[in-house]
Amino acid sequence: MKAACGHVFKYGDNVDTDVIIPARYLNSSDPKELATHCMEDIDKDFVKNVKEGDIIVANKNFGCGSSREHAPISIKAAGVSCVIAETFARIFYRNAINIGLPIIECPDAAKEIEAGDEVEVNFDTGVITDKTKGTSYQGQAFPPFMQKIIDCEGLVNYINQK
């Protein structure tokens, strides 16, 4: 499985799906359209500043709220390569894996990594390296079958390849 490397956008606790992708945009299921509104209710400049490969870091309960798949789809389509959090809402965690968005739980990294830091994530080992600070953290690596789902860009593609 590939690694991720990018600059960090940092958020706090309880970032819910309504601020990840506001409900007023759910009339579209087009990933590119959803990406243009990703995080706009919590960070108006996110869409202007996010670059392909960047990383979101948040604290507890990222992705809480409704069970919409639009939230991880908008994050992935915006170019985010990985989300690191202390914890994820369980339905968001599952939806992210289902659409091929790598996410990793690591409480220490979530607390210590700051906005703008350059971070690298090795998905095979779960090691998260803050290249700005020169610190590393051990996150929870994905089991091989989940890595295959993410490598295939989601569960549907994974099943279709079988």
Considering the segment(s) 2-159 as one domain, its CATH architecture is: Alpha-Beta Barrel (3.20)
Write out 44-110 in H/E/C secondary structure.
CCHHHHCCCCCEEEECCCECECCCCCHHHHHHHHCCCCEEEECCECHHHHHHHHHHCCCEEECHHHH
CB atoms within 10 A of CB 134: 7
Task: For residue 70, give Cα distances in angstroms to 2, 58, 60, 141.
Answer: 24, 19, 20, 25
Cβ contact 57:109 at 8 Å: yes
Instruction: Average the pLDDT over 119-137 and give the result.
Output: 96
What is the structure's pLDDT at 142? Answer: 83
Task: Specify whether the backbone of 25 is left (phi greater than 0), alpha (psi in -120 to 50) or beta.
Answer: alpha
What's the gap between Cα 109 and its chain centre? 14
Q: Is residue 148 predicted with pLDDT exceeding 90?
A: no
- Judge if pTM exceeds 0.85: yes
Share of the chain above pLDDT 70, in %: 98
Q: Tell me whether strands 82-85 and 135-138 are parallel, antiparallel or unpaired.
A: unpaired
DSSP-assigned letter for residue 122? E
Length of the chain: 162
